Amino acid sequence: MKYIKFNDRTVNSSMYRQLQDIAHVLTDNQNFTFEQSYGHQINPQTMVISASHFWDLYEVNQRFAAYKTDVVLRALGTYHYTDLEAFLRYQKWIQKNQLRKFATSLFTLLEDLRLEDICRVERKGTVKWFKVRRELLYSYYKTQLRVNYSRQFECDALFNMIALTLLAEQPMYHFDLDGGNHLEELMERIRPIIYEIYDAKNTEQISFISKRIILIVNQALSKDIIKEYYVFPFQNITEWKLDLPSEFDELKRKDALNNDDSEDIDDEDEIINKSFSTWHRENKNEGNKQTFLRFELEQGTKTSLIGDGAREGSDQDQVAASVQGSSHKSNQQQYEQLEALEQKHTKKQDKKTTYLYGERNQFARLIHKLPEHPSDNDKKQYTAFQKEIELEVKKLRKTFEKQLEQKRTNQRSDLLYGRFSKKWLPLLTEPIPRVFFKKHQPSIELDAAFTLLIDCSASMIDKMEETKKAVILFHEVLKQLKIPHSIVGFWEDAQEATKYDQPNFYHEVLSMDECFLPSAGYCIMQLEPQEDNRDGFSIRVAAEHLEKRREKQKFLLVFSDGEPSANEYEKFGVIDTYEAVKNTRKKGIQVVGMYLANGTIEEQERELMRNIYEQEHLMIPHVNQLPMMFSVLLKKVLLTLIH
């Protein structure tokens, strides 16, 4: 099995959920998802916001803060405040430029700094995150400047100088470059232009500043930067632009004018500023029917004249648009088509598809596999394994029964009522004497149910025999204590799985209805290593079955030897399994994960289990230790039932 790694790091599930929640809140769109990528971008078509791998090697608190700034910049900044048209014009302008990578990084750097100021003002809580971001970037570019200058990568060094100038706390940053007069002179030429960013109010102005810098740099440098420091904030925006959402198309004119008059105006001297009546031959017979602004859209003569009545947009326009967009039907509705468009837009925003077993498992197909009739070999092997773990079963059962008996006989003393004790002194010394005691109830019912999930992926081939011993231990102990339990092996058929159909087997070798039968355990021997494992899906299925049980306490134990891996699942398998575990716990079902290692436990393996099961997990270094360590775990779990 392999791990999901981002620069040798496994996915932090808790962090992932928080970043995705930030994306949802700031975009006000629950359909956006978060992922890690080469750069921090937003893809309006696939509804994905990404954070950069650049931060992966930093310390965890710094890394988390930096990830947050990536998401905030794209979800709050780019999504709401970047002018798409201005961006597309700039993107087209640099296509044939010899410093295209430099131009890309420069624009994104400047635009990010503009958006950062907006985010700091709108969300005060982001200030501390951006402070960390600036400190990390400042240190990084300072190091990069020395490296690139020593290697004579002049364009890279210049970009580092620009970044340091903007990120430095002091107003005038000085560079100590031996023999770097050429770059320092170039920097002095563009420095006044760089400082104009602090007055930039929109993307168009950032684009204009970037172009002026690039034109100057083009004259001095011929080679582009070696390293791409930034990518554009939009991902695949050109393709998305050609496939706008339907409401954009509905807002554009599609129908022709009712009349086909046209008027050519070639001489500006013929333009007369005079008010005319809105009467027209097309509406002379319409009586007193109200037309209002509809007349301006459907009637009139086509002309090449550009009106001079345009005005600059204001903040109040956005407020008015928000009010109109959320309005409801009035008693005197005049614009049915506009109302339909508003309703369609509202439904589109509110729509969020839910899946029974999670979004990443929407094409997973459940195949409930029943056990076959146990063979003579199954019975023989079961008996042999049973003898090997017999001592552990007896020790575990006796420990549990001892604790149970102790609780039955323990008495509670110093009570206000109950049985009269032999301690009479409080009658003379205390105003309200406590001289009574009570015994516990003579019997305690164990109102609990267990499900044991076993990863039957191909990587379990060298661990399955010892796993069966632990499973037999689990079954024998719970059977003797009369606690309902089920045992399930799960796997995905890798040979038959496709992108839109993933058959997943839920092999219930022991059901709760038959767990107390004398011969029920023989079917445990039918557990065998198969193919892939889609853990999140199987955990949700097991939780669904447990949720229907009437017992007050429910436990789900999961045996696994690595990360989830299945068709169309590797990238988000850890995240999906974490979400399955978290949702199962919300239902009142306790979930414990058990990791089976191959001799030594690596830090990446520990991090993997923490990311999925948080603190409720057990690391087993060697499979030979499985029965013994599982016995310890089972003891702790069972003792919680009587305390």
At 171-192, the pLDDT tens digits run 667 777 776 678 888 998 999 9
pLDDT at 589 over 80: yes
Name the pLDDT band for 332 (thresholds 50, 70, 90): very low
What's the whole-number mean pLDDT along residues 389-403? Answer: 84
Question: Do the beta carbons of residue 194 and residue 106 sit within 8 Å?
Answer: no
**344 confidence band (pLDDT: 50, 70, 90):** very low
**pLDDT given for residue 319 in this prediction:** 39
pLDDT average, residue stretch 60-69:
92
> Strand, helix or coil at 632?
helix
Q: In angstroms, rounded to a whole number, what is the distance separating the alpha carbons of residues 127 and 129? A: 5
pLDDT band at 30 (very low <50, low <70, confident <90, very high): confident
DSSP annotation of 598: S
Nearest CA to 144 out of 166, 172, 164 is that of 164
Better pLDDT: 254 or 472: 472
CA 428 to chain CA mean position, Å: 67
What's the pLDDT score for residue 422? 64
* Sequence-separated contacts (24+) of 290-296 with Cβ below 8 Å: 290/334, 292/334, 294/335
Q: Check: CB of residue 87 under 8 Å from CB of residue 234.
A: yes
Q: Which helix or strand (DSSP H or E) is residue 172 part of?
A: none
State yes or no: pLDDT of 358 exceeds 70. yes
Q: What is the average pLDDT score of the chain?
A: 79
Each residue's pLDDT tens digit, 245-279: 433 333 334 445 455 555 554 444 444 444 444 44
Q: Over 80: is that where the pLDDT of 531 sits?
A: yes
> How far is it, in rounded angstroms, from Cα 339 to Cα 333?
9
How many whole angstroms separate alpha carbon 33 and alpha carbon 21? 9
> Quick check: 413 pLDDT over 90?
no
User: Which is higher by pLDDT, 569 or 419?
Assistant: 569
> What's the pLDDT at 260?
53
Report the pLDDT value the prediction gives residue 76, as an integer from 0 to 100: 94
Give the type of residue at 45. Q
Higher pLDDT, 201 or 419: 201
pLDDT of 398 = 84
* The two structure tokens encoding residue 110: 């400047």
Residue bearing the bigger pLDDT, 281 or 231: 231
- Is residue 295 scored above 90 in pLDDT? no
Q: Which two tokens stand for residue 171?
A: 């107003």
Q: Which residue has the higher pLDDT, 295 or 127?
A: 127
Q: Are 477 and 448 in contact (CB under 8 A)?
A: no
298: confidence class by pLDDT, cuts 50, 70, 90: very low
Beta bridge partners of residue 35, listed in sequence order: 50
Per-residue pLDDT, averaged over 578-585, amounts to: 93
Question: Can you tell me the distance from the alpha carbon of 376 to that of 550, in angstroms, rounded to the nearest whole number?
Answer: 36
Q: Is the pLDDT of residue 289 over 50?
A: no
Confidence tier at 607 by pLDDT (50, 70, 90): confident
Cβ(233)–Cβ(42) below 8 Å = yes
Q: In angstroms, rounded to a whole number, what is the distance separating the alpha carbons of residues 525 and 608? A: 29
Residue 172: Cβ within 10 Å count = 7
Distance CA(634)–CA(477), nearest Å, equals: 9
Numbered ranges of CATH 3.40.50.410 in the chain? 376-390+446-639
Long-range residue pairs from 253-260, CB within 8 A, at least 24 positions apart, any chain: 253/297, 255/298, 257/298, 257/299, 257/300, 257/302, 258/282, 258/298, 258/299, 259/299, 259/300, 259/301, 260/302
The answer to whether the beta carbons of residues 455 and 490 sit under 8 Å apart is yes
Residue 296: pLDDT band (50, 70, 90) is: very low
The mean per-residue pLDDT over the stretch 210-227 comes to 93
- Residues 106-153: tens digit of each pLDDT: 999 999 999 999 999 999 999 999 999 999 999 999 999 989 988 889
pLDDT at residue number 292? 36
Tell me which CATH code domain 376-390+446-639 carries: 3.40.50.410
Answer yes or no: is pLDDT of 373 > 80: yes
Are 130 and 69 spatial neighbours (Cβ–Cβ below 8 Å)? yes
**Residue 542: burial class (beta carbons within 10 Å; 0-12, 13-18, 19+):** buried
pLDDT for res 439:
58
Is the pLDDT at 203 greater than 80? The verdict is yes
pLDDT mean over 227-245: 69
222: which 2 tokens? 């011929």
Q: What is the pLDDT of residue 15?
A: 83
Q: What is the pLDDT of residue 272?
A: 45
- For the stretch 532-575, pLDDT in tens is 999 999 999 999 999 999 999 999 999 998 789 898 898 788 88
Whether the per-residue pLDDT at 288 is higher than 60: the answer is no
Residue type, 538: S
C-alpha 161/C-alpha 29 separation (Å) is 38
pTM of the model: 0.62
73 has pLDDT over 70: yes
Judged against a pLDDT cut of 70, whether residue 442 lies above it is answered with no
pLDDT of 287 > 50? The answer is no
Average pLDDT on 374-399 reads 90
For the four alpha carbons of 217, 220, 224 and 227, in that order, the dihedral sign comes to negative
Give percent of the chain with pLDDT exceeding 70: 73
Residue 428: which pLDDT band, with cuts at 50, 70 and 90? low
527 pLDDT band, cuts 50/70/90, is: very high
| CB atoms near residue 167 (< 10 Å) | 20
Report the pLDDT value the prediction gives residue 69, as an integer from 0 to 100: 95
